């Protein structure tokens, strides 16, 4: 059974499509008993290659030239973050190696610091509103 390179490539791509779908990137939500929803996020990398050649037949009365070739592909899935939904608040928790430098640590702390500053400002605003209402 002789195959052509386009046929082999189509079959390989079809197999990759079977393995990888949107749920490979944005996972199915997981809900905990206390009402927290966790959604996994992943990075999908796909590599693909192929090649082939027709060979000249030594038999003069043969109509077709023999074909030799192949193709292949690979898929790599890395988890990169989790989206956590709790009490109407949405946070993204990255899955990464520990920060190696002070600058990396500072960058990682920025979202938490901003959340704390925002909560502090909101509480101060609420206290001022209560004082003005009395």
Question: What is the C-alpha to C-alpha distance for residues 66 and 110, in angstroms, rounded to an integer?
Answer: 63
User: Same domain, yes or no, for 24 and 89?
Assistant: yes
Please check the confidence at residue 122 and state whether its pLDDT lies above 70: yes
User: Same domain, yes or no, for 81 and 112?
Assistant: no
**Mean pLDDT, the chain, whole residue set:** 80
**Number of domains the chain contains:** 2
User: Same domain, yes or no, for 19 and 76?
Assistant: yes
User: Same domain, yes or no, for 79 and 19?
Assistant: yes
What is the average pLDDT across 101-127? 83
User: Same domain, yes or no, for 42 and 108?
Assistant: no
The strand order across the sheet containing 30-31 reads 30-31, 37-54, 67-86, 89-94
Q: What is the pTM of this model?
A: 0.49
User: Same domain, yes or no, for 76 and 115?
Assistant: no
User: Same domain, yes or no, for 89 and 130?
Assistant: no
Q: pLDDT higher for 9 or 93?
A: 93
Range of the domain at 105: 97-134
**Alpha-helix residue ranges (DSSP H) falling in 56-101:** none
| Tens digits of residue pLDDT in 12-66 | 778 877 777 767 788 889 999 998 999 999 888 888 787 777 777 666 566 666 7
130, two tokens: 């209560």
Q: What is each CA distance from 7 to 17, 57, 64, in whole angstroms?
A: 15, 21, 17
What is the average pLDDT across 104-129? 84
User: Same domain, yes or no, for 24 and 85?
Assistant: yes
User: Same domain, yes or no, for 10 and 57?
Assistant: yes
User: Same domain, yes or no, for 102 and 91?
Assistant: no
User: Same domain, yes or no, for 82 and 105?
Assistant: no
Please check the confidence at residue 1 and state whether its pLDDT lies above 60: no
Other beta carbons within 10 Å of 133: 6
**Alpha-helix residue ranges (DSSP H) falling in 1-134:** 5-19, 22-25, 102-133
60 backbone dihedrals φ, ψ, rounded to 5°: -65, -30
117, two tokens: 């500053």
């Amino acid at each position: 059974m002789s195959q052509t390179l386009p046929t082999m490539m189509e079959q390989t791509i079809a197999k990759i499509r079977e393995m990888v779908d949107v749920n490979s990137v944005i996972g199915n939500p997981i809900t905990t008993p206390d009402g927290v929803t966790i959604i996994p996020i992943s990075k999908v990398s796909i590599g693909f290659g192929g090649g082939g050649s027709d060979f000249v037949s030594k038999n003069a009365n043969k109509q077709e030239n023999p074909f030799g070739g192949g193709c292949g592909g690979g898929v790599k899935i890395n988890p990169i973050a989790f989206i956590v939904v709790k009490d109407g608040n949405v946070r993204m928790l990255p899955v990464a190696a520990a920060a190696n430098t002070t600058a990396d640590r500072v960058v990682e702390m920025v979202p938490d610091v901003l959340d704390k500053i925002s909560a502090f400002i909101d509480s101060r605003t609420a206290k001022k509103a209560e004082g003005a209402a009395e």
